[in-house]
Amino acid sequence: MKDSDVITLEEPRLSYADTFYLPQVLIGLGTTMRHMFNVVVRGKDRVIQYPEERREDMPVEKGGMLLKTYRGVHRLNKDDEGRVKCVACFMCSTACPANCIHIVAAESPWADREKYPAKFDIDELRCIYCGMCEEACPVDAIELSHVYDIVGLTRQEMIFDKAKLLNIFDETVKKEPM
């Protein structure tokens, strides 16, 4: 890097009033007061009673969300015979920018296919839900479902294995066909 490319920035000096911080505190409190006024006096409620009330059930112009394009937790699709569709080609894990897909390939037990995933783990906490895996898949085996409310008590629980991902397919296939 050349010296001419380096730009040195001076930290802006605080004015005398700023050094007290009080004006900023009052401005912040003002926002709180405004919301309180809106709710209590004008009766405009911004709170959603989740999970009874859900954003996907609300119209988009009223702050709802369009579930059709939402990228939620992954699912592993099954073929007509209920076998995992994945051929363990590693395209998704290669395309993954977050390195959250871990596959162990093995020789498949079925005659019509060479290879299948013996293990297929996705670290849902590491995933950034970009959908690149879906794009990369040559056999449409991995998809992002619209399910967004996944929970777990430990980090280990949030690493979804093959069984769990296939299970999400079973749960979502009716609502979101392949």
Question: Which residue, 90 or 129, is less far from other proteins as judged by CB?
Answer: 90
Q: How far apart are the two ends of the chain, measured CA to CA in Å? A: 51
Q: Tokens in use for 43?
A: 């009766």
Q: Contact positions toward other proteins, by CB under 8 A?
A: 87-91, 94, 105-107, 113-115, 138-139
Work out whether the CA dihedral 87, 88, 94, 95 comes out positive or negative. Answer: positive
**What count of other Cβ atoms lies within 10 Å of the Cβ of residue 108?**
17
Nearest to 69 by CA among 60, 61, 77: 60
Minimum separation from the CB atom of position 115 to other proteins (A): 4
Q: Tokens in use for 71?
A: 């990228």
Task: Supply the DSSP symbol for 62.
Answer: G
Question: Which residue, 113 or 146, is less far from other proteins as judged by CB?
Answer: 113
Minimum separation from the CB atom of position 97 to other proteins (A): 15
Question: Which residue, 48 or 139, is less far from other proteins as judged by CB?
Answer: 139
Minimum separation from the CB atom of position 87 to other proteins (A): 5
Minimum separation from the CB atom of position 111 to other proteins (A): 11
Task: Supply the DSSP symbol for 53.
Answer: S
Amino acid at 151: V
Q: Is residue 153 a contact partner of residue 77, using CB atoms and an 8 Å limit?
A: no
Question: Which residue, 48 or 106, is less far from other proteins as judged by CB?
Answer: 106
Question: Which residue, 5 or 112, is less far from other proteins as judged by CB?
Answer: 112
